[in-house]
Amino acid sequence: MKLVVKIKSLPELLALVALGIFLTVSILNVTFYARYLPGIVYKLAIAFSIFLLFIKEMFKRKYDYRELIALIATVFLYFVVGKMTAFSSELPVSILFIYGLRDVPFKKVAQTSLVVSMCLLLFVIISAKLGIITNYIEISGSRVRSYLGFRYALFPSILLMNIVAIVFYLKQNKIQYWQWLLLALSVYWVYDQTDSRLTFYSSCVLLACSLLTKWFPELFSKLGHVFKVFKLTFIVNAVISFWVSVIYLNSSHPFINDLLFKVNRMLGGRIYLANKSLNLYGYGFLRRQVEWNGNGLTVEGVRNYQTYYLYVDNLYVQVLQRFGLLILGLMLSVLTLTLSKVIKKRQWVLALILILMSFHSMIDDLNFYLHNNIFWILVGALIYPDYQFSDESKEELGEHSFEKIV
């Protein structure tokens, strides 16, 4: 597959290089290559990517009131979230990238993410298969899961899901059958290796929609009114997540208890764990101190927990407990406004991806991270009035343009 990333200006180049560096170290940090990536190197790479964003902003001669307000909010959120996590961690730095990439066409952002993600996914898997890094194998009864060089079985599958979503957006109804088949086989192979069922199902939905778009190019545009029904999907799914987690096995209606019990079994105990965490730690307007122990491995290949397992996979409940009601409300508001703008601009494929993201967040928190979900960058559409979902235009590139072919 030949991918052409046309870069029209130096600021744009700086922003995309910064993104590439940030995504690279973020992905490597969740693999066993992290063992060879000292903390100081990671922090320096993050600092350098932020520095490139700062230099890129220096080319901006004037800001409108919306950008100035957004800049203040971005810096404030960076320090708030950074204080709760770490200032060099992925979550607060991602907030800076949402602002810094607001005036870069999303198509180029997606292309950059696609190149980095595909190259590193292949690189890590091949390294694991060749024995260069650890290929951790988890055996639980009849279930065998290969981590493929990553520090958790879900990491390669969610990264591949992001790749599938990006290709769906970039190709839309122009995807070739061999490209679709290659993606489908890749999704199945990773599922067969990792046994990551729920992420596999979400990837299959994206692949099915991609095929429908190819067969019926006008299908989504004709269903525009249906997309409008889902404008509040992030808020609705968050409320449902909280209600289900609180009421689990505590309803006065036996039918609801029985139904939720069966759904919980189907979801691998996710509802039970969310309920247990809420009962144990509660939630507040601001963050609560929580101690979760998940299945992720340290860089030495050791479990993070020794005695008990407790982790909340539901993104909405996790943000509620980890960051508080204030941050959750802000996140839901921003995502709802972003989805509304995408629908208003008739970007149907992007709308579908965001809607699927809202549902997938009920069972998986990994799309909270930018390297697993580049579509967070779309929030920049709320900041920049001339936001470009695509860089397609009839204008030719200027003489000072750059072109990178992968």
Q: Which helix (H) or strand (E) holds 402?
A: strand 402-405
The predicted pLDDT at position 404 comes to 46
Question: 284-292: long-range contacts at Cβ-Cβ below 8 A with a sequence spacing of 24 or more?
Answer: 284/324, 284/325, 285/324, 285/325, 285/326, 286/324, 286/325, 286/326, 287/84, 287/321, 287/322, 287/323, 287/324, 287/327, 288/321, 288/322, 288/324, 290/321, 290/322
Instruction: Return per-residue pLDDT of the chain as tens, 406 residues.
Output: 556 666 678 999 999 999 999 999 999 999 999 999 898 999 999 999 999 999 999 998 788 888 899 999 999 999 999 999 999 999 999 999 999 999 999 999 999 999 999 999 999 999 999 999 999 999 888 889 999 999 999 999 999 999 999 999 999 999 999 999 999 999 999 999 999 999 999 999 999 999 999 999 999 888 888 999 999 999 999 999 999 999 999 988 999 999 999 999 999 999 999 999 999 999 999 888 898 988 889 888 888 765 678 999 999 999 999 999 999 999 999 999 999 999 999 999 999 999 999 999 999 999 999 999 999 999 999 999 899 997 554 333 443 344 444 4
Task: Note whether 220 and 349 are within 8 A (CB).
Answer: yes
Return the domain boundaries, the chain: 8-104, 218-372
With left for phi above 0 and alpha for psi between -120 and 50, is residue 251 left, alpha or beta? beta
pTM over 0.85: yes
φ/ψ of 71, rounded to 5, equals -65, -45
Tokens 């508001």 found at: 333
Reduce the DSSP state of residue 277 to 3 states and report it. Answer: helix
Sign of CA pseudo-dihedral 17, 401, 378, 62: positive
Cα 241 to Cα 68, 110, 132, 223, 402, distances in angstroms: 35, 29, 41, 27, 46
The predicted pLDDT at position 287 comes to 86
Alpha helix (H) ranges present in 86-105? 90-100
Cα 68 to Cα 62, 72, 83, 245, distances in angstroms: 10, 6, 23, 39
In sequence order, what E strands does 68-162 have? 137-140, 143-146
Spatial CA neighbour of 406 closest among 163, 160, 113: 113
